Amino acid sequence: MKALSYRPAIQVTIMALTTFAAGCDRGPAHSIVPVPQQIVMGSGTFALNSDVEVHFADQADEGARSVFDIWATPFRESGTLTLGAAEGGAFRIGVDGEGAPESYRLAVTTDGIDLTAADHAGLLYGLQTLSQLMPPGAETGGTAALELPVTEIEDAPRFAYRGMHLDVARHFFPPDFIKHYIDLLARYKINRFHWHLTEDQGWRIEIDRYPRLTEIAAFREQTQIGHGLDEFNGDGIRYGGFYTKDEIRDIVAYAQARHVTIIPEIEMPGHAQAALAAYPELACTEGPFEVAMTWGVFEDIYCPYEETFEFLENVLAEVIELFPGEYIHIGGDEAPKTRWEESEYVRDLMVREGFNDVEQVQGYFIRRIERFLNANGKRLIGWDEILEGGLPPNATVMSWRGTIGGIEASRRGHDVVMTPYSHLYFDYYQSEDQDAEPFAIGGFLPLDTVYSYEPVPPQLRDRDKERIIGAQANVWTEYMKTGDHVEYMLMPRMLALSEVVWSAAEAKDYENFLERIEWHLARLDALGVNYRPLDD
């Protein structure tokens, strides 16, 4: 990379820029989200136009070419740029293996652009940052030449796990929207997509061995209207859908190309009523069961029969074949034990295993599933209820009921992803005036609360703090029927999340963030993405 003469002053300059942006009316020095580790804004510009050719440091690096093509395609399709590859040129791009994973170094000079990254993910993130030095509508056309400001950036993520979740079981979203969702994640350096595929209200993944999961469990007879706090009021419309294996393979490949790892969730032992409607023999009671038409928590869960473990292992074997990532999420949350307490089989199991408490049966259940996943090269991740009854030895915990579960798990030596409902549940209202907002489950989670979140609890010892591997925001869709509604609940709160999980804690400045995201809201307008406007 071509070095700039003012590089030694980077840290001092960043501090000065931050003070400048927060302390005067001239606006932020840049509009990059998430804010980079180190950035210097110089003087002058470089004109990125269709005459600029791209030079790859390694002409045989197909990964670099793939990342570049994904980034450049919108510019080419809109006619803004027709960037071409050549042996020489003003846009130099390459991977050198130096620095932290996913890190990059970007320099814009009056002579050209140099982008070097530690790996292909870092290369993608450097290109996403480069996009944010352009006008907000650059990707959609109408710009003959892009005047990029002279800039030097060195950047790397704070956390390895930077996640967004989407529930497709309460309401189903087609493959094209899932790809669009992944694109939004990749633009803002979110690298994990937690795909919630099964629930009481619907089973969304094709499993060859158990066809009734898509014939029966994927469809409910109707859906409740409103919160359903009194008597049931349904819409009378049969509802459902599922992803075929071919569709899932296509989505997984799409995500991999954008360096987003998909974590599938197959709920157990609770939130299983849809599966029990298809295979009632897996419950502790006889049934029959129906795919749930209301929301909430249901008493009927998987019974810990040997036949149940055979079923779940067969399902997971097919899931493992589809998803190459490290983790399989097994839920583990909100599993009432009433049916287990009433079951003669479970009482005999407790005697046989020496259990004194029915909660220990859940620990037994989860440990058996973990052994299967570990034997097949996967790690188990689950909601913080998996702490109850004994945490499996290699499990990672998602702490959603506050921070206590994450603190306890990290102190026991387990990796933790923080996802507390107090700060990271994007199904909550964004205004206290709920009548002015789209209908939601309840709660109140404004943008500044998301931005204020600190994933590492201060009371942890240093060795335990290292086990907080990141954070994730969740989008539960009981009351979100359309992609537009999901986008509205996602944006701009996901922009705040991106800064929470990528940027250094000491670099965060909410007033400066608000100034910077004005550019991003204009970009969302250009891209046709729905979002909630900022409060006046």
* CATH number for 452: 3.20.20.80
What is the structure's pLDDT at 231? 84
pLDDT confidence of residue 141: 80
What pLDDT is recorded for position 144? Answer: 58
What's the confidence (pLDDT) of residue 146? 85
Cα atoms in the Cβ-side hemisphere of radius 13 Å centred on 316 = 28
- Domain co-membership, 394 together with 495: yes
**Residue 536, in any domain of the structure:** no
Same domain? 273 vs 342: yes
pLDDT, tens digit (0-9, with 9 covering 90-100), for 149-181: 999 999 999 999 999 999 999 999 999 999 999
Let me know whether 260 and 395 are in one domain.
yes
- The strand pairing partners of 329, in sequence order, are 265, 381
Whether residue 101 sits in one domain with residue 55 = yes
Distance (Å, whole) CA 375 – CA 397: 19
Are 65 and 120 spatial neighbours (Cβ–Cβ below 8 Å)? no
Which of the listed residues 126, 155, 184 is the one where a domain comes to its end? 155
Kindly state whether residues 253 and 376 are assigned to the same domain: yes
Burial of 352: CB neighbours in 10 Å, binned 0-12, 13-18, 19+: exposed
Counting as low any pLDDT under 50, the low residues of the chain are 1-27
In a domain, 106, yes or no: yes
> Which of the listed residues 114, 136, 155 is the one where a domain comes to its end?
155
Clarify whether residues 466 and 443 are in a common domain.
Answer: yes
- Which segments of 298-446 does DSSP mark as H helices, in order? 306-322, 338-342, 344-353, 359-375, 404-411, 421-424
pLDDT at 1: 32
CATH code for the domain in which residue 77 is found: 3.30.379.10
- Measure Cα distances from 527 to 15, 134, 180, 496, 534 in Å: 33, 14, 11, 19, 18
- Specify the number of domains making up the chain: 2
| Domain end among 104, 126, 155 | 155
Residue 418: CB atoms within 10 Å: 31
Helix axes 493-502, 483-490, angle to 10 degrees: 50
Q: Is residue 27 part of a domain?
A: yes
User: Is residue 294 domain-shared with residue 354, that is, in the same domain?
Assistant: yes
Q: Is residue 69 part of a domain?
A: yes
Supply the DSSP string of 179-190, one letter for each residue. Answer: HHHHHHHHHTT-
Q: Is residue 2 part of a domain?
A: no
Q: With respect to residue 532, please indicate whether it lies within any of the assigned structural domains.
A: no
**pLDDT at res. 143:** 60
- Whether residues 123 and 267 fall in one domain: no
**Residues 278 and 424 placed together within one structural domain of the fold:** yes
Distance CA 2, CA 401 (A): 48
Q: In this structure, are 146 and 199 located in the same domain?
A: no
Q: What is the pLDDT of residue 22?
A: 32
Closest alpha carbon to 332 in 402, 380, 375: 380
What is the rounded CA–CA span in Å between residue 536 and residue 169?
35
The 10 Å CB-count burial string (b at 16+, else e) for 224-235 is: beeebeeeeeee
Cβ-proximal residues to 280 (8 Å cutoff; 6+ apart), any chain: 286, 287, 288, 289
Residues 268 and 340 in one domain: yes
Q: Are residues 148 and 166 in the same domain?
A: no
pLDDT given for residue 8 in this prediction: 27
Residue 182 lies in a domain: yes
pTM of the prediction?
0.94
Smallest Cα–Cα separation from 57: which of 2, 133, 99? Answer: 2
pLDDT digits (tens, 9 = 90+) for 428-446: 999 999 999 999 999 999 9
Domain hosting 174: range is: 161-502+504-527
The number of beta carbons lying within 10 Å of the beta carbon of residue 439 is: 14
**534 in any annotated domain:** no
- pLDDT on residue 11: 29
